[in-house]
Structure formats: C-alpha cells, structure tokens
Structure 1
Amino acid sequence: MPRVLIVDDHPVVAEGWGRIVRAAGACEVFSAHSPLTGLRAYREERPDLLIVDLSFGCNKFAGVKLIRRLRRHDPEIPVLVFSMHRSAMIARRALEAGSNGFVNKDAPPEEIDQAFRSLSQGECYVSADIATKIALLNRPGSTSAASALTPRELEILGFVAEGKSYREIAQEVCISYKTVTNTCYALRSKLNATNMPELVVKAIEYFDG
C-alpha cells in the first residue's frame, strides 16, 4: 500500500485528494503547501507516490520546477500532476518534466481514483480530453509557436496572463526589469503579437486552451 505526498497550496484541495487516495488504498498521506516544503517532505518521508499541483500563487509553473528537481534525485517515483489548466501544451510540459500522469482539478473522484491506481501499478494516466489534445499537437504537420518557448519565457508568460506589469514580473522572478522587457519582446515575436495587449490575450489563450 503506497505512502503518498500531496503538494498543493490549497489545504482544502489537499484534504480532498487525501480522502480519495486513502479510499483507493493509500496507507499514509502527507501534505506540503509549497514546492520547497514539498521537496523537504519528500526527502524526510520518502513516499511511494507524489501528487503535485502545477501552480503556486502567481507562479503557474512552480510545480514543473519541483518535478525537474525531484527527477534529478529520483527518476523512478511516480508523479501525478493535477492542474486547473486544460491546455495540452501545459500538460505536455508537465509530462516532459518527468510526471507520469496529468488530471484536471475538476475531475470526478472516480477519475482521480483511476489515475491514482494506475500510477500505483506502475502505469501512466492522462485525462482523456487532454490526451486527445496532446495527440492532435503531435500529428504530422502540426506546429505551435508556443512549443518553442524556453522555461523562462513560459514562466514570464504565466505572469503576463495574470496581468502583471514588467516591474511586478521582475520582482516575482528576481530578474532585472530590462530582462523582462526583452523577454516579453521575444514572446511577442514568437507568438505573433503586435503589442502588449495582444500578448496578454495570447497568454490567456495559452493557459486556458
């Protein structure tokens, strides 16, 4: 019976997931409310499976960074990502980072149960609607400018979608104002946005698509 660590900054969500995975067979469930405390809890508790949110506060990809760091230490532990986003690009990013599964936060309990059981048995699981979208992304001749974004560009795009100013983004990411403006200029070019308002629209479409 697996020991499970849930990393999410919403205690009510973490508690709900905890009830579901206990009913599905988890013998112990731990929780952490940030990527940093999640990594610390992983090292201390050595769980058999992780359930990780992607977004923490305004950082839409903090969970991806956590998975990448985790994979440097443990390439084997099953990691299930759950997110409010339905974007195939976001799901693919999470899978490329090393997650074994992806489900939406509004998935019914029976789907969460199925995802948990699949990963517990060494299998992968992706919500059917997301799997279809990913398959369409991978079809011959399909290209997406957003797929070429770097991790830093993707992180900044997340803040753009939140309506953050250049100065606010610089403070959030701990980089210079000039770096933010240069990155947003590159994003406008890559995403074919002629101005900042268009980039905001593109960013929102990316995360909600």
Structure 2
Amino acid sequence: MTTVLIADDHAVVRSGLRQFLASTTDLKITAEACNGQDVLQQIGPSKCDILLLDINLPDLNGLEVLKRAKRLRPDLPVLVFSMFSEDEFAVHALNAGASGYLNKDSPPAQILQALRTVASGARYLSPALAEKLLSGNLGRGKALPHETLSPRENEVMLALSRGIALTRIAQQLNLSVKTISTYRTRVLEKLNLNSNADITRYVLEHKLDT
C-alpha cells in the first residue's frame, strides 16, 4: 500500500480525494495538512510515501514548501496538484524538485496514473505538458526574484524581514556587520527593492516565512 500525505487548505478537496482513493487497493491517504508548516511537520520517513501538494497554501508559498520538503526528504516524491495551469507553474515546480504536476480538473484516471507513476520513482507529465515541452511551446518559466538569491542571501533577507538589526544578524551568523551589510545590498538589488520595509512586504506577499 502506497501512503499519501495530501496538503490542501480546502477540506472538501481533501475529503473528496480521500474517498476517491479509498476505492483503490494500492493507494491510501494516511495524513492531511492544511498549510505549509503542517506539511513540513508531517513528512517524516514513516509518515508517507508520496506528498500530494497544492501550491496555493495560506501560510507559505507552495513552491517554498516543496523546496523545504525536498531538503528534509530528498527521496520523497512530490506531485503538485494545483488549480493553476501548467503553463504558469509546471516548470517552476519541476525545477524545484517535483516529480510531477497535475491540474485539479484532471480526470480521475489521470490522477491515479500520476500517483502511481511518481510512486514508482518516475516523473509524471500530462500528455499535454509533455507535448508542449517536446515541441518547445512551453516557456521555461522566468525565475522569481527571490529564487536568484544564494542560501546566505536568503537567510539575511528573512532576518531583515523579521526586523532583526544588522548587528544581531551578524552575531547569529558569525559574520561581520560589514559582510551582512553587503548581503543586504545584494538582496535589495536582486529583488529590486529600496528598504527593509520593502523586503518585509516582499516576504509576506510571497509567503516565504512563517
């Protein structure tokens, strides 16, 4: 039996999928999450074999949840299940480590095929998405500004968004204040922002922090 953790903030979606998969003999939803933090707390090795992840979560950006989940469990297959079109987010999700991307309006047989495909260790692409990728008609997806940040720049961005002073950030990261100031400048440049208040607003808008 392949166990599935479903992450979606709509109870009706979780309930519908749970009932749907209950009719199969090889797939079972054994855990549910309604937000990003709940997902990250539930993906221990014994908790699930597949993560079925909506990218529109209330607390964290779903793509950020995907990246964190893959850091915690690199071997965990993640199938993104979203209302957004493949043209908008599929490439971003696949580049972030997703094993597949599926629209919520997909027919039941396609949902089962996608889950079974990623459970086997393979990647799942819908016929339409595969055709677009092969023909070159699907854009590679423009990176969001924060995706260009280095891990250290990302740390500094989050710290600044929480209102932490440069001297305190320097102490926490065991770096000089001058170095932190340099990282701050890089963050502002890469995000095309002007102040710490802008950084806070950006982080909140993109749900990059809890």
TM over 0.5: yes
Tell me by how many angstroms 1:134 deviates.
3.2
User: Which residue is equivalent to 1:34?
Assistant: 35
| 2:74 aligned counterpart, secondary structure | coil
| 1:43 aligned counterpart, secondary structure | coil
Contact 1:20 1:112 in 2 (8 A): no
User: Which residue is equivalent to 1:3?
Assistant: 3
Tell me by how many angstroms 1:131 deviates.
2.5
Contact 2:145 2:191 in 1 (8 A): no
| 1:147 aligned counterpart, secondary structure | coil
Contact 2:18 2:28 in 1 (8 A): no
TM-aligned CA distance change 1:39 to 1:88, over 3 Å: same
User: Which residue is equivalent to 2:82?
Assistant: 83
Q: Which range moves more in the overlay, 117-126 or 22-31?
A: 22-31
For this pair of structures, how many residues does the alignment match?
A: 159
Q: What is the percent sequence identity of the aligned residues?
A: 31
Tell me by how many angstroms 1:114 deviates.
0.9
| 1:112 aligned counterpart, secondary structure | helix
Scaled by the length of structure 2, the TM-score of the pair is 0.63
User: Which residue is equivalent to 1:165?
Assistant: none
Tell me by how many angstroms 1:44 deviates.
8.0
Q: Match for 2:50: what amino acid? A: L
Tell me by how many angstroms 1:89 deviates.
4.6
Contact 1:78 1:122 in 2 (8 A): yes
Cα distance per residue 1:86-134 (max 9 Å; x no partner): 1435101101111101100111111101111112222221222223333
Contact 1:64 1:97 in 2 (8 A): yes
Contact 1:54 1:63 in 2 (8 A): yes
TM-aligned CA distance change 1:131 to 1:88, over 3 Å: farther
User: Which residue is equivalent to 1:128?
Assistant: 127
Scaled by the length of structure 1, the TM-score of the pair is 0.64
Q: Equivalents in 2 of 1:183, 1:8: separation in Å? A: 29
The gaps in structure 2 that reach 5 residues or longer are 149-160, 164-186, 194-210
Contact 1:7 1:34 in 2 (8 A): yes
Cα distance per residue 1:28-55 (max 9 Å; x no partner): 5210000100111113852111100011
Structure number with bigger Rg: 2
User: Which residue is equivalent to 1:150?
Assistant: 145
Cα RMSD for the two superposed structures: 3.2
Q: Does 1:92 align with 2:87?
A: no
Q: Which range moves more in the overlay, 91-100 or 114-123?
A: 114-123
Contact 2:84 2:103 in 1 (8 A): yes
Q: Equivalents in 2 of 1:81, 1:143: separation in Å? A: 18
User: Which residue is equivalent to 1:109?
Assistant: 108
Structure having the higher helix fraction is 1
User: Which residue is equivalent to 2:153?
Assistant: none
Tell me by how many angstroms 1:56 deviates.
1.5
Q: Equivalents in 2 of 1:66, 1:103: separation in Å? A: 17
TM-aligned CA distance change 1:14 to 1:147, over 3 Å: same
Q: Equivalents in 2 of 1:111, 1:80: separation in Å? A: 12
Contact 1:3 1:48 in 2 (8 A): yes
Q: Equivalents in 2 of 1:76, 1:112: separation in Å? A: 21
User: Which residue is equivalent to 2:71?
Assistant: 72
Q: Match for 1:68: what amino acid? A: K
The gaps in structure 1 that reach 5 residues or longer are 154-173, 186-209
Q: Equivalents in 2 of 1:75, 1:115: separation in Å? A: 19
Tell me by how many angstroms 1:26 deviates.
2.0
